[in-house]
Each structure stands twice: as structure tokens, then as C-alpha cells.
């Protein structure tokens, strides 16, 4: 209930950072440059086409609570929520795209062939202090004010076996902090993702797709349940994440974890349990400048991304998530250990 009070309509008013200067962010959080999608060996089908041919997901599991409204329903599993819409993905792409633009964002990634769109880093202007000074001068010099926070949202559309579409929304956040005792320079650093913001935008998207405001609020307010914990294990001298749950649920949770932690998912093959991702290893020695630092420095060359495969394998009620290199061989490098830790931390 506290979350609902924070996310009232007048508490969200986003303004995209793309309308001004581009926001500098840590290298492992930047949206990588677009290039040709990684091709699955032996096939040329897209990720969306792969989803259309998969077996139907089990219905009515004890851990999933659906709420149906017209052809749009919200489902939840643990602390995850997503929409299931009885319309094909190609009919939903433009309405979903318009939804983000109408909410004050610009799109940094807009790739219908992958079923992924992602907003630019944006500021929630509703968090700015509404004092007498800003009420009299803020409208004239509004750019002087800053919340010191930025948000980015990724939307993923996947075709399901019934011919409809599953829609996932994930959030990532940054916060600007001082990096010296004199407080003359700042840096941007990641902050925890906000599931309440994800739920609020899912609710708003339901309204965009035809559900009434009252109905959307009612079904989005269902309480969260605790999801099974993840733990890091060693399998054949390679790091992995182990989950005590079946494949369907693990596949959804891993996909959302990748979205929330900023991996670029180039493709996915649910039948083989593989996400094809790009990853930029963070540089511990590098400090990304804040607004003041950007004015007096030039950007260093970005590290080239590395390609990996995140593999989800299940045996009975247990699932293992491991990292393969671009060629499909088990990966035991420091990067693989870091990737496993990031996924495990997000799944806890």
C-alpha cells in the first residue's frame, strides 16, 4: 500500500535526458552500439519467430496468479509481473511505442525484429521540490533543477504459444553522488531497480491497451510472494546459478534479470534455453564523470563488447544457469564469474 501511494499519477512526470545532453553512465550499463543480430547456427529465424513455435506454458501453477480483463491480463510469479495480451506482437508494437513517447520518454532502442524497445535515461521531474522558489522561477529556468536520479525502462514483447503476446517491463536506475570531500565533482552510479515502478508502468500500459483505470489499479495491487532463492555453484569447474524451480519459471526470471541488469540480449531460443547476450566488463579504475565533469573532459574509447550465451537447463524441479562463450564452449573466465554473480544477485 505504501508503494501505491508513492506511485500516484501526479508523482510521475518523466523528461528524457535525450532532449538535452547525453548522460554518461558506467560502461557496463551503456546501451551498446547496434549491429547485426547474432545468428543462431543453422537457422535464420528471429527471436519473435522462435517464441511462436514453442510448446504451451503450463497453466494454473500454484505460484502464478492471473487476473483477466478483456484481452489483457496481468500475471505475477514471485515479485515479477507481466502482461499477457491476446493480440499478435505486430499489432502491439506501435501502441506500446506510443505509450512510452506519451509518458515523456524517447526511445534509445527500437527493434521490432527482436521484440525489444528501451527508453533513454530520463528524470522523474515530479520528485523535484515544489517550494515557492521553484513555483515562481522554476518554470523559467527549469533546467537548473535536478533530482540527481535517472531511470531507464526496457520493454520486451514475446509471442506465446496461444498466438498472443507476453509483455515485460524492467527498470534500471542511476544516482548522482559526490566523489570528493570538497563536493565539487559528481559521478553517476547504479542504484537498485524498482519493481514498484515496473508495476506502475505495466498498470498504465493496461489502460493504454483498453482496460479501465479502476480495473488496472485493482489487479496490479496484488501482494508479492517470495520467490525461491538462487545460489552460485560450481559445475564442471565452471560457475553457475542454481534455482530450485522448473524451466518455465526460471526462463522468465532469468530473462527479466538480464533486462534489469543491462545486458544486451541479441537473440533468444526458448526451445534450447539460450539467451545470446553482449557484455561490457566494468573497469574498476575508471570513474564516469557527472554533469560538471563532463563539461571539462573528453570521453575515453569504450571497451568492445564480448558475446556470450546464457544457458538455462532444467532437470526435474531444479534449473541451472551457466555461461558459454561465443562458440558455445563452457566459460570459466573472470567475466563468466562476474556474470553469474550479477544474475544470482538479481534472482535473490
Q: How confident is the model at residue 243 (pLDDT cuts 50, 70, 90)?
A: very high
List, for residues 179-193, the tens digit of each pLDDT value.
Answer: 888 888 888 898 888
pLDDT at 17: 59
197-232 per-position pLDDT tens digit: 999 999 999 999 999 888 888 877 766 666 667 899
pTM for this entry: 0.70
Q: Of 9-13, 180-184, 344-348, which range is least confident?
A: 9-13
Q: What is the pLDDT of residue 241?
A: 95
Taking alpha carbons only, the member of 67, 79, 28, 63 closest to residue 194 is 79
**DSSP 3-state of 196:** helix
State how far the Cα of 270 lies from the Cα of 274, in Å rounded to an integer.
Answer: 6
Q: Give the pLDDT score at 46.
A: 35
Could you give the percent of the chain with pLDDT greater than 90?
38
Break the chain into its structural domains and give their ranges.
Answer: 2-347
Query: Does the pLDDT value for residue 276 go beyond 50?
Result: yes
Q: What is the distance between the alpha carbons of residues 259 and 153, in angstroms, rounded to a whole number?
A: 9
State yes or no: pLDDT of 287 exceeds 70. no
Residue 2 pLDDT greater than 50, yes or no? no
Report the pLDDT value the prediction gives residue 143, as an integer from 0 to 100: 53
pLDDT at 97 over 90: yes
Q: Is the pLDDT of residue 194 over 60?
A: yes
The mean pLDDT value of the chain amounts to 76
Alpha helices, DSSP H, located in the chain:
2-6, 47-52, 89-102, 132-133, 195-208, 213-220, 247-260, 291-295, 334-347
Amino acid at each position: 500500500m505504501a508503494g501505491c501511494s508513492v506511485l500516484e499519477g501526479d508523482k510521475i512526470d518523466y523528461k528524457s535526458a535525450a532532449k538535452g545532453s547525453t548522460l554518461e553512465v558506467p560502461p557496463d550499463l551503456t546501451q551498446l552500439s547496434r549491429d547485426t543480430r547474432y545468428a543462431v547456427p543453422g537457422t535464420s529465424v528471429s527471436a519473435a519467430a522462435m517464441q511462436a513455435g514453442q510448446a504451451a506454458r503450463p497453466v494454473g501453477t500454484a505460484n502464478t496468479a492471473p487476473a483477466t480483463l478483456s484481452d489483457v491480463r496481468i500475471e505475477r510469479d514471485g515479485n515479477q509481473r507481466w502482461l499477457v495480451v491476446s493480440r499478435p506482437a505486430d499489432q502491439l508494437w506501435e501502441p506500446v511505442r506510443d505509450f512510452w513517447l506519451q509518458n515523456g520518454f524517447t526511445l534509445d532502442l527500437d527493434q521490432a525484429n527482436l521484440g525489444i524497445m528501451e527508453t533513454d535515461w530520463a528524470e522523474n521531474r515530479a520528485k523535484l521540490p515544489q517550494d515557492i522558489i521553484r513555483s515562481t522561477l522554476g518554470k523559467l529556468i527549469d533546467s537548473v533543477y535536478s533530482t540527481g536520479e535517472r531511470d531507464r525502462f526496457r520493454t520486451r514483447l514475446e509471442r506465446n504459444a496461444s498466438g498472443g503476446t507476453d509483455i515485460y517491463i524492467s527498470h534500471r536506475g542511476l544516482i548522482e553522488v559526490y566523489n570528493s570531500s570538497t563536493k565539487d565533482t559528481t559521478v553517476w552510479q547504479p542504484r537498485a531497480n524498482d519493481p514498484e515502478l515496473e508495476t506502475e508502468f505495466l498498470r498504465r500500459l493496461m489502460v493504454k491497451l483498453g482496460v479501465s483505470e479502476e480495473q488496472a489499479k485493482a489487479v496490479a495491487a496484488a501482494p508479492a510472494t517470495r520467490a525461491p532463492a538462487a545460489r552460485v555453484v560450481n559445475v564442471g569447474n565452471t560457475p553457475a546459478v542454481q534455482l530450485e524451480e522448473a524451466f518455465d519459471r526460471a526462463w522468465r526470471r532469468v530473462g527479466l534479470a538480464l533486462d534489469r541488469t543491462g545486458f544486451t540480449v541479441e537473440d533468444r531460443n526458448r526451445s534450447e534455453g539460450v539467451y545470446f547476450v553482449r557484455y561490457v566488463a566494468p573497469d574498476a579504475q575508471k570513474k564516469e564523470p557527472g554533469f560538471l565533469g563532463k563539461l571539462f573532459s573528453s570521453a575515453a574509447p569504450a571497451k568492445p563488447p564480448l558475446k556470450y550465451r546464457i544457458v538455462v537447463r532444467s532437470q526435474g524441479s531444479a534449473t541451472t544457469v551457466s555461461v558459454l562463450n561465443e562458440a558455445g564452449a563452457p566459460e570459466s573466465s573472470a567475466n563468466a564469474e562476474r556474470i553469474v554473480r550479477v544474475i544470482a544477485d538479481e534472482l535473490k
